[in-house]
Structure 1
Amino acid sequence: MADPHPALLMFIGARYVEQRVSEAVLAAGYDDLTPAMARAAARLRDDGIRVTEIAEQARITKQSASVLVDLLERASYVERVPDPADARARLVVLAPRGREVQKVARRVERAIEREWTRHLGAERMAAFKAALTDLREITDPYR
């Protein structure tokens, strides 16, 4: 493709990061974390998130999100806690094991950002990040 769409170029970069993170997580011994589980866990917020929100953001059914959260919970990556805003609801939060995996992922993400900065130069990398941040205003309903 001579002139790929910017969205395809962003996807290629995101897929590269996902692959590098996945390889590092596997190398660190977390071999029970599937790509689908990792994508669901990546949507967790520090203050927790409901399964319905995971489903909405991941564009999967609530049932699929529930299955993924069940798998994450059985593997001790997440836990369900009461939602302080609604006694009937539960929030999904990272468990200690999930925080350990998150640290591995964040280390790889920072390493990739340093690699990209070396490749592009600090000024172009800053402009790239600023442009992507600006695009969130019109592309990310969950920002």
Structure 2
Amino acid sequence: MSTRIPTSRGQQRPVTLAVLMREAFVALNGIVMARLAERGHSAVRSAHSAVFQYLDDTGTTVSLLAERAQMTKQAMAELVRHLEGHGYLVRVPDPADRRAKLVVPTDRGHEVLAIAGELVPEIDEWAGRVLGPDRVRDLKADLDAIRHAATGGRERVSRPEP
């Protein structure tokens, strides 16, 4: 079995904080993808999480989705096209700008969002069993602090739990 960590000059590359955070995301996202497949949504792939994660329930332009996900408009448009083709999204005229189209989840898309939402407490509980609930709370606060500092204090994802 191969490792996900690539090698350089015959040695495994250093496992940095960023690598560990990415690999933890990949592992947790794999749980979500497996649950979606079990519930009949095998057309949704890991890459599509970039769409669902940044999609406002009232609709979002492809340009804004791409900006939020830090990817090109062309790449985001391809993800959206795939999800449209499988009935998860539709594009509708933007009432604020008739030239623009909003990407909106269909009932099937809302089902995907609900399934992912159901998993949040399950994953938190599982992490609590692995690390302990206090460490999970601290980990969330620490990751949010890192993100806040790395964005120059512009954004905070969550509020620390009591």
Q: Which residue of the other structure, out of 5, 29, 35, is the alignment partner of 2:16? A: 5
Offset at residue 46 of structure 1 (A):
2.2
Q: Which residue of the other structure, out of 45, 51, 56, is the alignment partner of 1:40? A: 51
Give structure 2 stretches of 5+ with no counterpart: 1-11, 158-162
Q: Which has the higher helix share?
A: 1
CA separation in 2, counterparts of 1:47 and 1:132? 28
Moved >6 Å (runs of 4+): none
Q: Which residue of the other structure, out of 29, 45, 52, is the alignment partner of 1:18? A: 29
Q: Which residue of the other structure, out of 72, 78, 88, is the alignment partner of 1:77? A: 88
Offset at residue 48 of structure 1 (A):
2.0
Give structure 1 stretches of 5+ with no counterpart: none
Equivalent position SS for 1:32:
coil
Distance 1:37 1:120, change over 3 A: closer
> Given the two structures, how large is their TM-score scaled by the length of structure 2?
0.76
What is the total number of aligned residue pairs between the two structures? 142
Q: Which residue of the other structure, out of 126, 148, 158, is the alignment partner of 1:137? A: 148
Deviations 1:17-55 (A, max 9, x none): 110001111111112223333432322122321101222
Q: Which residue of the other structure, out of 22, 40, 54, is the alignment partner of 1:29? A: 40
Offset at residue 104 of structure 1 (A):
1.5
Equivalent position of 2:4 in the other structure: none
Contact 1:117 1:125 (8 Å CA) reproduced: yes
Listed as ranges, the matches of 1:85-100 within 5 Å are 85-100=96-111
Equivalent position of 1:108 in the other structure: 119
Q: Once the two structures are aligned, what percentage of the paired residues are identical?
A: 33
Deviations 1:64-105 (A, max 9, x none): 222221221121111222223322211112111011111112
Offset at residue 116 of structure 1 (A):
0.6
Equivalent position SS for 1:42:
helix
Structure possessing the higher relative contact order (Cα contacts under 8 Å, 6 or more residues apart): 1
Most deviating of 113-122 and 33-42: 33-42
Work out which of the two has the higher radius of gyration on C-alpha atoms and give 1 or 2: 2
Offset at residue 57 of structure 1 (A):
3.0
Offset at residue 124 of structure 1 (A):
1.5
Equivalent position of 2:68 in the other structure: 57
